[in-house]
Amino acid sequence: MRPDGRQALELLARLGYGARGITYCLVGGLAVLAAVGVGGQTGGSRSALLILLGKPFGWILLGLIAFGLAAFALWRVVEAVTDADGYGRSAKGLATRAGHLVSGVIYGGLALSMAKAALGRGTAGSDDQGARDWTAWLLQQPFGQWLVGAVGLVVIGAGFAFARKAWRGDVTRRLSVPHDARDWARHLGRFGYAARALTFGLIGGFLIAAAIESRSSDVKGLGGALQALRAEPYGWVLLAVTAAGLAAFGVFGLVQARYRRIDPPDLDAARRAVKDITR
């Protein structure tokens, strides 16, 4: 890939991290407001982003975020296929790359649905409904309950990985943050990853429950996980803390957009390598 091509890919990656950060800021901020009873909502990414349509020039803002999310999806796929971050071919490295590939597919779907909404071609369904739809389809397949249960375990595994990252505190390892800002960036990232760990654990638990009961209605997405927290004793406190963590992860995403070390791969060399393998 020519130098200008690599620069373009790096720019797309940074736009992507920024768009993901804004999305989490909206999800977490709205949920914090709901927790303290001053409006807001406990929804997922789709419902949070659709709030923009009610604002002046909201369709433009939503369209820009949709473009950024599509850029993030592209970067995740490229990152996973070319191993741009150097995770390697160990079991852990391959699992991380597979997770990034799945992340790319998910964010690509979110980008597409948001782009359609921005263009006035229908509003996207809720995160919970989308999760229930694909779970219902999966349950109808051979060994469907086992497949849904396996997905639930994978999601819980991702939650444990986020929790480990929050506990170890190495969230700034790939950031070139100024020295005087490194501490607050690390605390921000750890808080954000801890909140993601909790929500992923809940979502995975709902999937396993759906597999056991063979009932897709038990499945919940991010919005459903936040609502489940709110239903617990002192739920508004749990919701407020978790939502603040998600908002913190959103701000951390903006930090990543600016300071993350991104080494775009030479896609021409990668393409030649794939051709050599498939000959």
pLDDT tens digits in sequence order for the chain, 279 residues long: 455 678 888 999 999 999 999 999 999 999 999 999 888 888 889 989 999 988 888 899 999 999 999 999 999 999 898 888 888 889 888 988 999 999 999 999 999 999 999 988 766 566 777 788 888 888 888 888 999 999 999 999 999 999 999 999 889 989 998 888 889 999 999 999 999 999 999 999 999 999 998 888 888 889 889 999 988 888 899 999 999 999 999 999 999 999 999 988 766 655 554 455 445
The rounded Cα 11 to chain-centroid distance in angstroms is 19
C-beta pairs of 161-165 under 8 Å, 24+ apart in sequence: 161/99, 162/193, 162/194, 162/196, 162/197, 162/200, 163/193, 163/194, 163/197, 165/190, 165/193
Tokens of 87: 């995770």
Q: What is the pTM of this model?
A: 0.89
Tokens of 247: 């908002």
